[in-house]
């Protein structure tokens, strides 16, 4: 039985790279600009502001009749306000996903440590078994 433990190369790679999170994705000027705009628009305060802006045109929509009210609701209010609300939800979901990824990463690190400890115990067991075998063999030869 071979008891020489050779750690997998991925273990060193994991230790060097660390956990990969959503915030690591925005690279370069365009990525930073997109995240800046996204973070500004994906707040409930922005949704409230958009609702206020949309409500400014509500009196004109009411005066225009049913078709104008439906159009205002679908094209102005819902699109403006729901955009920010959905983005807030996406941001919350991404944060939860990052927490789960970090927990999974830590769990995998712990399992790798346990696996190394198990290997050490197997080596000790094999060494002791070898010693016992040698003693028994010597005693049988006497």
**Is 91 in contact with 42 (CB distance < 8 Å)?**
yes
Asked, for residue 128, whether it belongs to a domain, the answer is yes
Find the domain containing 43 and state its range.
Answer: 24-141
- Would you state the pLDDT for residue 125? 93
Asked, for residue 10, whether it belongs to a domain, the answer is no
- Would you state the pLDDT for residue 131? 94
- Would you state the pLDDT for residue 25? 72
- Would you state the pLDDT for residue 16? 79
**Is 101 in contact with 21 (CB distance < 8 Å)?**
yes
- Would you state the pLDDT for residue 3? 58
**Is 8 in contact with 112 (CB distance < 8 Å)?**
no
- Would you state the pLDDT for residue 5? 66
Question: Which residues in the chain come in under a pLDDT of 50?
Answer: 1
Q: Count of domains in the chain?
A: 1
The Cα 48–Cα 88 span in angstroms is 12
3-state helix, strand, coil split of the chain in percent (to 5) is 85, 0, 15
- Would you state the pLDDT for residue 88? 92
Asked, for residue 19, whether it belongs to a domain, the answer is no
Asked, for residue 78, whether it belongs to a domain, the answer is yes
């Amino acid at each position: 039985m071979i008891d020489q433990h050779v750690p997998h190369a991925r273990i060193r790679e994991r230790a060097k790279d660390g956990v990969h999170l959503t915030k690591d994705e925005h690279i370069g000027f365009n990525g930073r600009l997109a995240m800046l705009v996204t973070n500004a628009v994906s707040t409930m305060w922005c949704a409230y502001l958009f609702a206020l802006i949309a409500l400014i045109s509500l009196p004109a929509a009411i005066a225009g009749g049913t078709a104008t009210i439906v159009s205002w609701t679908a094209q102005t209010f819902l699109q403006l306000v729901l955009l920010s609300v959905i983005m807030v939800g996406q941001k919350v979901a991404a944060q939860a996903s990052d927490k789960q990824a970090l927990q999974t990463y830590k769990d995998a690190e712990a399992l790798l440590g346990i696996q190394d400890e198990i290997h050490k115990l197997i080596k000790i067991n094999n060494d002791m078994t070898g010693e016992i075998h040698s003693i028994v063999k010597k005693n049988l030869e006497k």
